[in-house]
Structure 1
Amino acid sequence: MKEIIMCYQGEMALKGLNRATFESVLSKSLRWRVKDLGKFQVYKAQSTMYVEPRDEEAEANMEEAYDRVSKVFGLAALSRAAVCDKNIDAIKATAEEYLGPILRNLKTFKVEAKRADKSFPLKSPELCRELGGFLLSKHPHLRVDVHHPDIVVMVEVRDYGAYVHGPKVPGAGGLPVGTSGRAITMLSGGIDSPVAAWYMARRGLALHHIHFASPPYTSQAAQDKVRDLARLIAPYTGNCVLYVVPYTTPQEYIRDNAPDVLFTVLMRRSMMRIANRIAKEIDAKALVTGESLAQVASQTLYALACTDAAQDLPVLRPLIGMDKSEITVVARKIGTFETSILPFEDCCTIFTPPHPKTKPTLAEIEAAEAAMPGLAALEEQAAADVERIRIDMRDQKQEDDLSELEDF
């Protein structure tokens, strides 16, 4: 019995003349995800992508391949399916071999059929009756329930064969990573920013990340935590580079020369300028943050307006209308929550004034920056001294070689 992974398109099917471009990126992403698991063939037929094992190593790694494919954006649903010849006897035998062990432990089922190959002699209702009757003869304890079955036995008769599987499983959705361009995520180490990265990758953005470290106020453990977060979301967002900015000197300069109540907004503006510089070096077209409106003082409408004015790239904030409980649900879903809550320092929380100004004006912010003429040079030096760490979704220990990095 041969098993494959069937991947069904969703939103991509609406892309019209651009659809082939999206499908090409999706195919490349799927190949990249399973490349180290054996020999797999990835191909498309009838709006479905197939991931087919072609050697023993690939067959042995089907569980891992399925898990990786389930995290690829651009897929509305997927299923593991058994392949057989397009005749009713082969379909019956394959369904019993593939799903019989599951049916023995259930009480109800139904059969659904899709006959994409119209040359197949049985129409879909006839195929359902034939296969349903056969399975009932093999499992007399079962009964048919067309409304709320314990399992749906699916049969798809297509160009290259017949495919038997259980219910389709929802995929990651969205668009293939890379089809919407490239951006940089401000990855702080908290709960929000990894979730923001996940949401924007789901809309097709290829992402790299930037983190600001301020030793000795922040520790190596805090930096390692951020690297671990980048690793945890890499199966969704693809390979990336984590840019670690040594931010101690600019941050101390702002602390020593700026009004206390404006410190947080001035620091955010400084970070935005550095992120802008690095983004343009790698041709990233936007910055991504995990900010949520009014969650903290630096995320009021007034503060955000001042922050955005510091640089000229679009700032994407996918969490802007979400509350903390909603963000936490997604963080748990994508596996970042437990790492995000580890109690290590974050440079955004050090030197925080007890009563930051929640309604700063751009005029007073720019006046404060005019009184800090040395800040620009410190920001330039911090950007020049950035550390680059490779995050490879297929090898969580490989971090050094940036020469062959791809966004898949």
Structure 2
Amino acid sequence: GALSKAVIDSLRSESFSTFRVSAKRADKRLTLTSMEVARDVGAAICEETGKKVSLKDPDLTVYLELLSKEVYYAIEKVQGPGGMPVGVSGKVACLISGGIDSPVAAYRMMKRGCRALFVHFSGRPLVSRASEEKVRELVQLLTIHQYTSTLYVIPFGEIQRDIVANAPAPFRVVLYRRVMIRIAQELAKREHCWGLVTGDSLGQVASQTPENLTVIEEAAVLPLLRPLIGMDKVEITDQAQQIGSFAISIEPDQDCCSLFTPPHPSTKTRLDDIQKVERMFDIGALVKQGLEKAELTEFTFPQ
């Protein structure tokens, strides 16, 4: 009847030789089964258009969704992002730089149902706010998937300067990261997050060797999640392009990761060595300093 007519009208502009009808019945109390509806609509299409049915390899598929009081039909399926609704898997704190990896890591956690809180470590006051502007753009982009976001920006330059002045050069990168993890973790606890998320990919840079990842993770009490750990740069870049973050990420800036990076960082740091170096600092005071200077911004979608 009306359904067949509506479907046939939609098919008039389509070019195809063979077709099939795929029906799903949400309400099993309907008198007709999904197979019966598919057969009836298919027969009407055959009669009206003279096209042949091919269940195995059709040129076109008509999709029917049978609800209690209405029927939806479509002749095209568009692949959505998939995943789970944001929020069903709790809340995580995502460390976000202006780079390619961390926005993708955050997106992948959001896709698995996590609400993302964002934490950015800026090289300020020793560098400009360029990385912060990029991060704001990235967070605004990612907010499309969760409607509201919170970003904490931590001016990290002075903490880095303190580490540079007192720590042996090879250990600096791991030390920075361990302090970042501790600061992010305090914010995460404050915001009721169950885990921390980083954009680490195994072996990609000096801080991402198995040894260094292990030593950095030791500073965390909350689970440290690394959704990109087994992905290579090409795969990560592809996903960044897919979600729209790539163009923002490649804008030039100087973030705290590139500030004071020694020419030959240690790639096989041992925990006892790092702990020895950390005893030269008041780590608690550095964490407190970072937390006190944290700046909070809220984002909404639509803006």
User: If the length of structure 1 is used for normalisation, what is the TM-score?
Assistant: 0.69
Instruction: Kindly provide the CA deviation profile for residues 358-386 of structure 1, in whole angstroms up to 9, marking residues without a partner as x.
Output: 1111111111111123x532431221121
1:192 aligns with 2:101: yes
Q: 1:273: how far off?
A: 1.2
For the 8 Å contact 2:97–2:131, the answer to whether it is kept is no
What is residue 100 of structure 1 aligned with on the other side? 11
Task: Specify whether residues 360 and 131 from structure 1 end up closer, same or farther in structure 2 by C-alpha distance, changes over 3 A only.
Answer: same
For the 8 Å contact 1:177–1:238, the answer to whether it is kept is no
Write out aligned runs for 1:340-359 (5 A): 340-359=249-268
CA distance in 2: counterparts of 1:118 and 1:364, whole angstroms: 66
Write out aligned runs for 1:319-398 (5 A): 319-373=228-282, 375-395=283-303
What is residue 306 of structure 1 aligned with on the other side? 215
For the 8 Å contact 2:26–2:65, the answer to whether it is kept is yes
RMSD over equivalenced CA pairs, Å: 2.1
CA distance in 1: counterparts of 2:114 and 2:28, whole angstroms: 39
Give 5+ residue unaligned stretches, structure 2: none
Task: Specify whether residues 123 and 268 from structure 1 end up closer, same or farther in structure 2 by C-alpha distance, changes over 3 A only.
Answer: closer
Q: 1:115: how far off?
A: 4.4
For the 8 Å contact 2:188–2:194, the answer to whether it is kept is yes
Instruction: Kindly provide the CA deviation profile for residues 256-276 of structure 1, in whole angstroms up to 9, marking residues without a partner as x.
Output: 111001110011011111111
Q: 1:169: how far off?
A: 3.6
1:139 aligns with 2:49: yes
CA distance in 1: counterparts of 2:26 and 2:217, whole angstroms: 52
CA distance in 2: counterparts of 1:110 and 1:388, whole angstroms: 54
Query: Quick one: which amino acid aligns to residue 268 of structure 2?
Result: K
Query: Quick one: which amino acid aligns to residue 7 of structure 2?
Result: A
Task: Specify whether residues 382 and 126 from structure 1 end up closer, same or farther in structure 2 by C-alpha distance, changes over 3 A only.
Answer: closer
Q: 1:161: how far off?
A: 2.1
What is residue 197 of structure 2 aligned with on the other side? 288
CA distance in 1: counterparts of 2:147 and 2:197, whole angstroms: 16
1:315 aligns with 2:224: yes
CA distance in 2: counterparts of 1:119 and 1:393, whole angstroms: 40
Instruction: Kindly provide the CA deviation profile for residues 52-72 of structure 1, in whole angstroms up to 9, marking residues without a partner as x.
Output: xxxxxxxxxxxxxxxxxxxxx
> Which of 243-252 and 321-330 deviates more?
321-330
Query: Quick one: which amino acid aligns to residue 290 of structure 2?
Result: A
1:174 aligns with 2:83: yes
CA distance in 2: counterparts of 1:276 and 1:119, whole angstroms: 51
What is residue 128 of structure 1 aligned with on the other side? 38
Structure 2 SS opposite 1:176: coil
1:90 aligns with 2:2: yes
Q: What percent identity do the matched residue pairs reach?
A: 42
What is residue 110 of structure 1 aligned with on the other side? 20
Task: Specify whether residues 351 and 160 from structure 1 end up closer, same or farther in structure 2 by C-alpha distance, changes over 3 A only.
Answer: same
- Which residue of 212, 229, 232 maps to 2:138? 229
CA distance in 1: counterparts of 2:29 and 2:270, whole angstroms: 71
Q: 1:119: how far off?
A: 6.1
CA distance in 1: counterparts of 2:120 and 2:25, whole angstroms: 52
Runs of 4+ aligned residues of structure 1 deviating over 6 Å after TM superposition are none
Q: How many residues align?
A: 303
Q: 1:311: how far off?
A: 3.0
For the 8 Å contact 2:169–2:262, the answer to whether it is kept is yes
Query: Quick one: which amino acid aligns to residue 263 of structure 2?
Result: P
User: If the length of structure 2 is used for normalisation, what is the TM-score?
Assistant: 0.91
Task: Specify whether residues 125 and 277 from structure 1 end up closer, same or farther in structure 2 by C-alpha distance, changes over 3 A only.
Answer: closer
Q: 1:114: how far off?
A: 3.3
Query: Quick one: which amino acid aligns to residue 171 of structure 1?
Result: G
Question: Larger relative CO (CA 8 A, sep 6+): 1 or 2?
Answer: 2
